[in-house]
Amino acid sequence: MEHSPEELIGNFQFQRILKNDPKEKTLVLLGLIDNKDAIVFLEKSHFNVDQGSFKVGDIIKEIRLINNNDVYFWSSALIEHSLPEAPSGKVNIIYPATETHIKKYEEQKIHYITETPEMYATYVKPYIESMKGDRIKWVYNILFHGKESETFVYHDKDPDNGFVLLPDMKWDKVNMDSLYLCCIVNRCDISSIRDLNSSHISFLENLKKKIITITCTTYSIKADELRVFVHYQPSYYHLHIHVVNLMHQGLGNGIAAGRAILLDDVIENLRLVSDYYQVRNLNYFLGENHGLWAIEGFREANVKSNSSN
């Protein structure tokens, strides 16, 4: 049964705050909808203004002085907003939410991981296999069953080289400075960068070229204004590529070292060493709520690999 966001929010029973980030202007709430866990993710929108006709007095409806000193004045304000052109915020809902979803969004301690190839083979690869099937059913719904097709920017159904390009849920589809697209490939044999080798170079090069061409044509943006990258560890284990406007800095750890890896760097690494991602240690940050951190052997192996550096 399909639910509208109005119905879901109307039935949401608040339980606790998972995260309140003053820098990213986001608030993540945990609650219940029909006795099932639900997550509501609130984010204040970036200002969307037309430089040709913009007047600051048109959007500031009320202003109250906080303090001033010499030439500096700081105030609280009530800002005009409207839908769909100038939303005041964006709401994402996950329902029903799993324990994995809850742990992902909850405040947590972060650790530096040095993942050796042996750690990957012993702990990470089995974990990745356990996170497939029904856990990424929503990905297959997009790729093969037309779910969210009304939002597709591009869809190539070729089983080997095809992909879907669509707006990421982090983008409000209004402000171009926060442009955020996600490319999900059709092929199911690449779970993460650990599966990549030199035989994939041509595939990745063609993928990047098509992604950039389509994005630039569709949104009138230049190629050198885009950040094209992958994550390790990724949020889900099916190869997907992030395409983001360089102006969009409010992504927190999503674009930080220790998580994001430029697609160009991935390709160049494979040129240098054909099995680069099979033989080298991978260093990244991992939260304590991640399923890998729950594996005692993985934690112990990480202590040893870090102490040997």
Q: Which domain-ending residue is among 89, 120, 137?
A: 89
d(CA 35, CA 139): 26
**Identity at 107, one-letter amino acid code:** E
Query: Residues forming the annotated binding site?
Result: 138, 148, 168, 170, 231-242
d(CA 235, CA 289): 13
Strands (E), 126-250: 154-156, 163-167, 180-185, 226-231, 240-245
Strands (E), the chain: 13-21, 26-33, 36-44, 60-69, 72-79, 89-94, 110-115, 154-156, 163-167, 180-185, 226-231, 240-245, 260-262, 282-287
Q: Residue 28's domain spans which residues?
A: 5-89
> What total number of domains does the chain contain?
2
- Catalytic residues, by residue number, are 240
pLDDT for position 56: 79
**What is the DSSP code string of 103-127?**
HHHS---EEEEEE-HHHIIIIIHHH
d(CA 30, CA 87): 23
Residue 280 lies in a domain: yes
- pLDDT in single tens digits along all 309 residues of the chain: 578 889 999 999 999 999 888 777 889 999 999 999 999 999 887 776 666 667 777 788 888 888 887 877 888 888 888 777 777 888 989 899 988 888 888 889 999 999 999 999 999 999 999 999 888 999 999 999 888 889 999 999 999 999 999 999 888 888 888 899 999 999 999 999 999 999 999 999 999 999 999 999 999 999 999 999 999 999 999 999 999 999 887 666 778 889 999 999 999 999 999 999 999 999 999 999 999 999 999 999 999 998 876
- For residues 121 and 82, state if they share a domain: no
- For residues 50 and 194, state if they share a domain: no
Residue 81 lies in a domain: yes
- For residues 211 and 179, state if they share a domain: yes
- For residues 129 and 246, state if they share a domain: yes
Residue 57 lies in a domain: yes
The DSSP code for 47 is: P
- For residues 115 and 248, state if they share a domain: yes
CATH number of the domain bearing residue 18: 3.30.200.40
d(CA 228, CA 105): 24
- For residues 193 and 291, state if they share a domain: yes
d(CA 114, CA 16): 33
CB neighbour class for 197 (10 Å; exposed up to 12, middle 13-18, buried from 19) = middle
Give the pTM.
Answer: 0.80
Residue 276 lies in a domain: yes
- For residues 121 and 203, state if they share a domain: yes
pLDDT for position 273: 98
**Closest to 229 measured CA to CA, from 247, 244, 248, 213:** 244
- For residues 11 and 157, state if they share a domain: no
Question: Where is 268: in which H helix or E strand?
Answer: helix 263-272
User: Among the residues of 131-187, which ranges form H helices?
Assistant: 137-144
Residue 155 lies in a domain: yes
- For residues 139 and 230, state if they share a domain: yes
- For residues 225 and 160, state if they share a domain: yes
Q: Which domain-ending residue is among 89, 117, 148?
A: 89
Residue 287 lies in a domain: yes
Residue 98 lies in a domain: no
Are 31 and 40 in contact by the 8 Å Cβ rule? The answer is: yes
- For residues 138 and 42, state if they share a domain: no
Residue 101 lies in a domain: no
**Closest to 164 measured CA to CA, from 207, 135, 219:** 207
Are 63 and 75 in contact by the 8 Å Cβ rule? The answer is: yes
- The tokens for 57 are 């007095």
- For residues 158 and 27, state if they share a domain: no
Are 182 and 239 in contact by the 8 Å Cβ rule? The answer is: no
CATH number of the domain bearing residue 218: 3.30.428.10
Query: Residues forming the annotated binding site for substrate?
Result: 138, 148, 168, 170, 231-242
pLDDT for position 157: 93
Q: Which domain-ending residue is among 89, 116, 150?
A: 89
d(CA 14, CA 38): 9
